[in-house]
């Protein structure tokens, strides 16, 4: 939504791939690295990284969350940009780290500084790099699921849609409940499975009404939640992280599109 930055495009970023991304959706992280490379942006991956601390924070366990978060403050202290291919984890860095360390003048200041340099992938591409067309090719009817933290903590609504619209061969189909929670909510899905599933069923009904063959989102958590029920129901709708879509087809061969 913001105007592209006037400063020169970033040359180097640090990737925080997230624990879900590392363990369950490595394809999304891989696609993120490759598409950043195609933009001429070098990627660092600090090997000491694990999780952002959100599971503990959301459950009310602030001390464990701080212990985990504090490592990230140190690990990424030198990074000019921190790229997170997840709205939820990026919100943890941008919104909740400063809150978590608000009582500590030193760590609080570090957290504030870090928060300002942290970007969810789609917001980084559109608002910082200033690019929407990445030369990806993908044949399909794509519905976009707006993950809650990306949309309502970070206020990133249009960026992913603009990126999707620019993919060659892709039709972005409107989904009536695109901005409604899928019922994942981390441990919520385990603690309150019936409510979680009722929410998920409504999301999937909306997805089917949309007539999409592919669902794209910016969060691995939502994706594995939605995919888990689609699979249980025997549906064939494909699930993709935005980074995978943006790196699909011709783009995967590192061939930038014609102007």
Q: According to CB under 8 A, which residues from 120 to 179 bind other proteins? A: 130-135, 148-149, 151-153, 166
Number of residues that bind other proteins (CB under 8 A): 88
* Nearest approach, Cβ of residue 205 and other proteins (Å): 12
Nearer to other proteins, 22 or 213 (CB): 22
Give dist(CA 240, CA 200) in Å, integer: 17
Nearer to other proteins, 34 or 209 (CB): 34
For 13, the 3-state DSSP assignment is strand
* Nearest approach, Cβ of residue 69 and other proteins (Å): 10
Restricted to residues 195-234, the positions that interact with other proteins (CB under 8 A) are 195-200, 202, 224-225, 227-229, 231-232
Nearer to other proteins, 142 or 182 (CB): 182
Q: Of residues 2, 5, 64, 104, which one binds other proteins by CB under 8 A?
A: 64
Q: Are 145 and 224 in contact (CB under 8 A)?
A: no
Residue window 71-110: x/- pattern of binding to other proteins, with contact defined by CB under 8 A: x---------------------------x-----------
* Nearest approach, Cβ of residue 32 and other proteins (Å): 9
Give dist(CA 210, CA 50) in Å, integer: 36
Q: Give every CB contact of residue 5 below 8 A, 6+ residues apart in sequence.
A: 127, 128, 130
Helices (H), the chain: 19-23, 26-38, 54-58, 62-75, 87-91, 97-100, 105-117, 121-123, 148, 159-165, 188-191, 193-210, 220-233, 242-246
- Residue 157: exposed, middle, or buried by beta-carbon count in 10 A (0-12, 13-18, 19+)? middle
Phi, psi values for residue 230, rounded to 5°: -60, -40
Nearer to other proteins, 180 or 213 (CB): 180
* Nearest approach, Cβ of residue 2 and other proteins (Å): 14
Give dist(CA 60, CA 62) in Å, integer: 6
Q: Of residues 105, 106, 190, 236, which one binds other proteins by CB under 8 A?
A: 190
Residue window 21-60: x/- pattern of binding to other proteins, with contact defined by CB under 8 A: xxxxxx--xx--xx-xxxxxxxx-x-xxxxx-x-xxxxxx
Q: Of residues 98, 140, 160, 183, which one binds other proteins by CB under 8 A?
A: 183
Q: Are 32 and 218 in contact (CB under 8 A)?
A: no
Restricted to residues 234-253, the positions that interact with other proteins (CB under 8 A) are none
Nearer to other proteins, 57 or 124 (CB): 57
């Amino acid at each position: 939504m913001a105007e592209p930055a006037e400063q020169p495009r970033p040359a180097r970023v640090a990737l925080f791939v997230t624990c879900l991304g590392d363990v369950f959706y490595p394809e999304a992280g891989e696609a993120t690295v490759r598409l950043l490379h195609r933009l001429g942006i070098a990627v660092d991956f600090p090997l000491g990284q694990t999780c952002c601390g959100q599971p503990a924070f959301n459950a009310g366990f602030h001390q464990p969350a701080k212990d985990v978060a504090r490592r990230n403050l140190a690990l990424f202290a030198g990074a000019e940009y921190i790229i997170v291919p997840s709205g939820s984890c990026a919100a943890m860095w941008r919104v909740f780290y400063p809150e978590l360390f608000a009582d500590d003048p030193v760590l609080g200041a570090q957290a504030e500084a870090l928060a300002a340099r942290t970007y969810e992938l789609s917001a980084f591409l559109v608002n910082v790099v200033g690019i929407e067309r990445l030369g990806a090719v993908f044949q399909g009817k794509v519905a976009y699921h707006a993950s809650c933290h990306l949309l309502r903590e970070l206020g990133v609504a249009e960026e992913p849609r603009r990126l999707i619209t620019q993919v060659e061969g892709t039709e972005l189909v409107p989904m009536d409940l695109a901005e409604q929670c899928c019922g994942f909510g981390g441990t919520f899905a385990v603690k309150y499975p019936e409510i979680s599933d009722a929410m998920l069923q409504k999301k999937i009904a909306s997805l089917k009404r949309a007539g999409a063959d592919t669902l794209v989102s910016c969060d691995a958590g939502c994706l594995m939640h939605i995919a888990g029920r689609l699979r249980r129901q025997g549906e064939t709708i494909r699930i993709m992280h935005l980074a995978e879509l943006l790196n699909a087809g011709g783009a995967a061969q590192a061939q930038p599109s014609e102007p």
